[in-house]
A and B are shown apart, each in its own frame.
Chain A
Amino acid sequence: MLDVRDVHVHLAERLVLAGVQFQIEAGEFVGLIGPNGAGKTTLLKTILGLVTPDLGQVLVDNRPIRRGNPAIGYVPQKVHLDPDTPLRGRDFVALGLDGVRWGVPLPRRSRRERVERALGSVQALTYADAPVGRLSGGELQRLQIAQALVGEPRLLLVDEPLSNLDIRNAHEVVRLLHELARSRGMAILLVAHDLNPLLSALDKVVYLARGRSMAGRTDEVMTSESLSRLYGYPVEVMRTRGRIVVVGGPDMHLVPPEAADHAGLGEWEATTP
């Protein structure tokens, strides 16, 4: 379904992705994990065709990607909506269906029903008629997922959907996406900087650090050896009470940045797909 091959991307003279490689099959629920600034959002934009790789290739259904592929749904990380935006939730969702088309939308029954179904699948019907600018972060998050789902994509890219949510809602959204992957055979790539809320649902993890990736089953990737190799300096992966904690990663500020720089990108081995 999705095949990311040795992708290199530089932004403003900085190599952000330096050989990212992994595959996702239909129906798989995959977590894209990595510290802030690791290049997770950049990777999603590359898959969407919004960023062109300097080297490497991204294939969707064995074909090179192009921008605007309706088979891919996207839920971006940041949303900014003016509180007075004169748009109801359902109008916002409908844009995901035919927002690219020219002209004024005609009120058709099939269109209404598809929007209604998408709203229902994320349990957003109760606030579907409220103005979008006034919704809470979590409510807007669900509407965004509905907007991505309404086009019935086969691959869903979701950028940090859990950062706006409390623990209960985070679990709820993970369960919902997991269910969608199962029932519709949809491939989902979900970005998060914390793996733990996802642990039970994930089929696979793609761990991103310093521009490189490590992909595989959770127990393969989340080991001290794999991640130390990825970071280029020793980190420790610990499991306590069913949680996985990476000690010594850049989020923990235990390793001075100079030490990280000394590792140098050049000496790294190819990532294991």
Chain B
Amino acid sequence: MHMMGVLDTLHLWLLPSGLLTTLYMWHAYVCGTIVALTATLVGYFVVLRGVAFMAHSLPKIGFAGVAGATVLQVPPLVGLLTFNLLGGLVMSTLSRRGRRDVVTALTLVLALGAGELFLTLGQAYGETAYALLFGQIVGISGPQVGQTLAVGLVTTGLWMILYRPLLFVTVARDQALARGVRERLLDNLFAILVGLVCVMTVPVVGALLGFSLLIGPVATASLVTRRGVHTLLLAGALGLAAIWLALLLAYDSGWPVGFFATTIIVLEYKVVYIGRWVKTRRALAI
């Protein structure tokens, strides 16, 4: 892939820094960066719209999709795309009729059940399942980096197109409807957006860590910012810091990246939360 050629050349330039001596670590950093930034964009709307449960469920549905792909012997990406996009659309369509959380939960267990079946049929229990749940960020191939970048660009493009009407219908639904915003279309496109981000996160950081990257940094940033742009910038920085630091620590210790990344994301939240609390206490004391 041409793009990969460019990225790998960049890697050669960075070689002297010492850390990025191995190509697989370089791939991990590139993928981690793309995933963290895209997850921030989508996570912004996930938090604003209060659909964390849906964002939590979709990666697990994607996991079933990959398991299915191994059974049918098609590329994992096909399984991921099919399950995540379909799962998202089913959730957004059905939740207009029933309660969103119930619909989400039912879709999730259905997919997990199917996932278990696929894993058994594909006789690929242990390692594959482990990689899907926790990701394999260290050990990503060149083509996979290209894939992540491509899906990342598509997701970012769709996010930019949706931004304004999605914001309008989220913060001022009645006014948006009156002005002609098409809610159903937006609901479905948003589900696709979350599905796409899961397509990126599942192979790289796994179904579990993907969710924390989506929600954590944005939630932390919203504690202290009052403007969308600032929230996005701060959340992006927090997400990047978490994944970069996690890769560094994992490289040194041999412990899993996911453990460090989730811990750092939660720590960031705690620190900011306590900082804000101390600040208000001080303000009250004066």
Confirm or deny: A147 has a beta carbon within 8 angstroms of a beta carbon on chain B.
yes
The answer to whether A101 and B179 touch (CB under 8 A), given A88-B227, A91-B227, A95-B171, is: no
- Whether the Cβ atoms of B165 and A101 lie closer than 8 Å is yes
A-B contact pairs, 22 of them (CB 8 A): A48-B177, A50-B177, A50-B178, A69-B180, A74-B174, A82-B48, A85-B48, A86-B221, A86-B225, A86-B226, A86-B231, A87-B228, A91-B227, A92-B171, A95-B168, A96-B179, A100-B168, A100-B179, A103-B160, A103-B161, A105-B164, A147-B175
Chain A residues closer than 8 Å to B177, beta-carbon distance: 48, 50, 67
**If the complex has contacts A86-B230, A92-B172, are A99 and B48 also in contact, measured as CB distance less than 8 A?**
no
Chain B residue numbers with a CB within 8 Å of A103 are: 160-161, 163-164
Cα A103 to Cα B231 in complex, Å, equals 19
Distance, CA A147 to CA B179, complexed state (A): 11
User: For the complex, is A148 an interface residue (Cβ under 8 Å from B)?
Assistant: yes
Check B230 against A68 for contact (C-beta < 8 Å).
no
Known: A86-B228, A103-B163, A104-B164. A74 touches B178 (CB 8 A): yes
Which chain B residues in 151-182 approach chain A with CB under 8 Å? 160-165, 167-168, 171-172, 174-181
With a cutoff of 8 Å between Cβ atoms, the chain A residues found around residue B178 in the complex are: 48-50, 67-68, 72, 74, 76
Closest Cβ–Cβ distance, residue B127 to chain A (whole Å)? 41
Extra 18 A-B pairs, beta carbons < 8 Å, given A95-B176, A147-B175: A48-B177, A49-B178, A68-B181, A70-B179, A72-B178, A79-B172, A84-B222, A84-B223, A85-B48, A96-B175, A100-B164, A100-B165, A100-B176, A100-B181, A105-B164, A132-B171, A144-B172, A151-B179
> Interface size on B (CB < 8 Å)?
29
| Nearest CB on A from B244, distance (A) | 24
Interface residues on A, range: 35 or more
- Give the residues in chain B near A75, CB-CB below 8 Å: 175
Q: Which of A43-82 contact B (CB under 8 A)?
A: 48-50, 67-70, 72, 74-76, 78-79, 81-82
SS class of chain B's interface: helix, strand, loop or mixed?
helix
List A127-155 residues whose CB lies under 8 Å from chain B.
130-132, 144, 147-148, 151
Give A185 to B226 CA distance when docked, in angstroms: 36
- The answer to whether A91 and B164 touch (CB under 8 A), given A50-B177, A85-B171, is no
A244 to B165, CA, bound (A): 44
Residues of the A chain whose Cβ atoms lie less than 8 Å from the Cβ of B179:
68, 70, 74, 96, 99-100, 151
A-B interface pairs (CB < 8 A), number = 101
Q: How far is the CA of A91 from the CA of B230 in the complex (A)?
A: 13
Task: State whether the Cβ of A98 lies closer than 8 Å to any Cβ in chain B.
Answer: yes
| Shortest distance from the beta carbon of B267 to any chain A beta carbon, whole Å | 20
Question: Assuming the A-B contacts A85-B48, A95-B171, A102-B161, are A68 and B223 also in contact, with contact meaning beta carbons closer than 8 angstroms in the complex?
Answer: no
**CA–CA, A50 and B177, complex, Å:** 7
Residues of A with C-beta under 8 A to B226: 86-88, 130-131
Chain A residue nearest to B170 in the complex (CB): A85
